[in-house]
Amino acid sequence: MIQGLIFDLDGVIVDTARYHYLAWKKLADELDFHFSESQNEALKGVSRMHALEILLQIGGVQASEEKKLDWAERKNVWYRQYLKTLTPNDILPGVLEFLREAKERRYKTALGSASKNARTILDQLEIIDYFDFIADGTMTQKAKPDPEVFLLAAEGILCPPKDCLVFEDALAGVQAARNAGMKVVGIGNPSVLEKADMIFPGFKNLHLADLEALCQ
């Protein structure tokens, strides 16, 4: 029986992909190569350093580890400037209603995000109190598809992995949830999420009673 709900952040609760793109683009501009929004697709859902590696590969740029850390930090400073403009209006449609329903039905809720900025984002969106536990990129060593972040989230809400339901928008995230032995609801594009147990376009009109029926 499902007792715990674990939410990915970016692409599920809020879409900060545009801000990630603008910040990485600024770095690409400085390094003097073109970086398009469609190329940015490959950077979604992966850790910051992995995203940097992909970006540098696109630009054909090689650099020392020290330089890479410096660039990742600069990108993060620009990204955090964009995050300051986030408000509760940026919460994706239906998410707030779904979180409220989860609390009413006494589910345990956790965040399972690769982002090191997860708490800042939840604060800006004013929804941090809806989560009983936050597992994020500051606490993990291994990136999705490794199950580490979801197992940590399950431990945080004292819920056995088999009784957890994960909400994910990225292929690596769906694989991570499956590797953790959890059920997965894919949110977004069905062609990317085919390994999920169920797929929905978003949280609008999505109700826990329907999911409970599907999880039987």
Catalytically annotated residues: 8, 10
Task: Return the residue of 5, 27, 58, 114 that touches ligand B16, per CB under 6 A.
Answer: 114
What's the farthest any 2 CA atoms get from each other in the chain? 54
Cα-based torsion angle of the residue sequence 188, 194, 197, 203 in order, rounded to the nearest 10 degrees: 10
User: Which does residue 115 touch among ligand B16, Mg ion, none (CB within 5 to 8 A, set by kind)?
Assistant: ligand B16
User: Which does residue 95 touch among ligand B16, Mg ion, none (CB within 5 to 8 A, set by kind)?
Assistant: none
Does 172 interact with ligand B16 (rule: CB under 6 A)? no
Distance CA 113, CA 8 (A): 5
User: Which does residue 164 touch among Mg ion, ligand B16, none (CB within 5 to 8 A, set by kind)?
Assistant: none
- What tokens does 158 get? 């004292």
Distance CA 105, CA 100 (A): 9
Using CB under 5 A as the binding rule, the residues of this chain from 170 to 189 that contact Mg ion are: 170
Nearer to Mg ion, 157 or 177 (CB): 177
Only one residue has tokens 């410096």, namely 70
Task: Return the residue of 2, 5, 27, 51 that touches ligand B16, per CB under 6 A.
Answer: 51
**Amino acid letter, 118:** A
DSSP state of 163: G
The one segment of 38-46, 60-68, 197-205, 208-216 that binds ligand B16 by CB under 6 A:
38-46
Is 16 within 8 Å of 118 (Cβ atoms)? no
Does 8 interact with Mg ion (rule: CB under 5 A)? yes
The one segment of 7-15, 26-34, 59-67, 194-202 that binds ligand B16 by CB under 6 A:
7-15
Does 47 interact with ligand B16 (rule: CB under 6 A)? yes
The one segment of 20-28, 101-109, 167-175, 195-203 that binds Mg ion by CB under 5 A:
167-175
Q: How many CA atoms, within 13 angstroms, populate the side-chain half-sphere of residue 36?
A: 2
Reference 83, options 45, 52, 122, 111; nearest CA is 122
Is 172 within 8 Å of 42 (Cβ atoms)? no
Contact residues toward ligand B16 (CB under 6 A) are: 8-11, 20, 43-48, 51, 76, 113-117, 137, 170
Contact residues toward Mg ion (CB under 5 A) are: 8, 10-11, 45, 169-170
